[in-house]
Amino acid sequence: MSKIKIANAPCSWGVLEFDLEGQTAGYAQVLDEMVQAGYEGTEFGDWGFMPTDPVELRQEIKRRNLTLLAAFVPVALANPAAHRQGIDVAVKTAKLLAAVDDSPFIVLADDNGSVETRTKNAGRIRPEQGLNGSQWKIYAQGAENLARTVLNEVGVRTVFHHHCAGYVETPAEVECLLNETDSDLLGLCFDAGHFEYGGGNAVEGLNHFSERIWHVHFKDCHPDVAAQARTNAWDYFEAVKNGVFCELGKGSVDFTAILKEIQKMNYEGWIVVEQDVLPGMGSPLESAKRNREFLQSLGL
């Protein structure tokens, strides 16, 4: 496990891609606190959170001895009219990442939280609330075209992040997207917490999709909060507000078993800790420290 490095992401400080009320810490404080909590790398966060000038961004990342390893790019892939703009944003983002560090990823996702049915029913999606056959073709083609363009123009690879409140949430939906896309072009960013809240078992998912996994997010899912969300019909944001994504080791994800699966895969990439919180929620630095200590207790 020695080749695996541990990162965190701005979403653990409430820096999310959604237009939400509330204040978050600035990028300098977030990066300083990541270092203070013992992390070696970071993802980029929403465009504009960190500097978008490559020289300035590189200086901010490198003077803290961090690695910039990925950036989250949401695209409404079910809508073909959104594909061109999504590709343009991904290429722009990939160029910025590549100017700072070697071998980063574009973490492609749906435009999560933008479709009312999916947002309202996150964590309890039924098959009829998903895409049909022709819609899957459009969705997969959009993802594949983006990944191909970013690779050809920038040399950066793309992974897809399954995510609650988007069209790829359940294990069956993850399977469908991967079956519809080229395994050489599009990898999977496996997120343990989203997989569990989306109705799966993270250990089984990691094993099942191991050949497509290029990037890993360690997130936990609190089973009691998830059950409450389903009983009370909370939407995605209400579930997050109530702590469905808890500190590592306090939820349903079996991280000891997850690490065994990762060893079987001979995975040598990054593990990114994510504890999604809303802006101003919780105590991000303290949680980041406890999450790092938890991983240290597992030998990471």
Alpha-carbon distance of 232 to 110, in angstroms, equals 25
**Does the pLDDT value for residue 122 go beyond 70?**
yes
**Does the pLDDT value for residue 93 go beyond 90?**
yes
Give the rounded distance of the alpha carbon of 82 from its chain centre. Answer: 20
Residue 20 has what pLDDT? 47
Alpha-carbon distance of 287 to 28, in angstroms, equals 18
The sign of the CA dihedral 249, 256, 171, 177 is positive
**Does the pLDDT value for residue 21 go beyond 80?**
no
Stretch 98-117: mean pLDDT: 95
Q: What is the pTM of this model?
A: 0.95
Q: Which of 15-29, 74-88, 156-170 has the lowest mean pLDDT?
A: 15-29
pLDDT level of residue 269 (50, 70, 90 thresholds): very high
pLDDT level of residue 282 (50, 70, 90 thresholds): confident
pLDDT level of residue 1 (50, 70, 90 thresholds): very low
C-beta of residue 41 within 8 angstroms of C-beta of residue 7: yes
Select from 184, 217, 204, 207 the least CA-distant residue to 70.
Answer: 217
Residue 64: count other Cβ atoms within 10 Å of its Cβ: 14
C-beta of residue 57 within 8 angstroms of C-beta of residue 50: yes
**Does the pLDDT value for residue 285 go beyond 50?**
yes
C-beta of residue 36 within 8 angstroms of C-beta of residue 65: no
Could you give the 3-state DSSP secondary structure of residue 255? helix
Stretch 60-79: mean pLDDT: 97
Alpha-carbon distance of 181 to 259, in angstroms, equals 27
C-beta of residue 264 within 8 angstroms of C-beta of residue 213: no
**Residue ranges of domains in the chain, CATH in brackets:** 5-297 (3.20.20.150)
CA-to-CA dists, residue 122 to 56, 71, 165, 190, angstroms? 38, 23, 5, 18
Q: pLDDT (tens digit, 9 = 90+) per residue, 134-164?
A: 999 999 999 999 999 999 999 999 999 999 9
Stretch 263-267: mean pLDDT: 92
Alpha-carbon distance of 241 to 263, in angstroms, equals 34
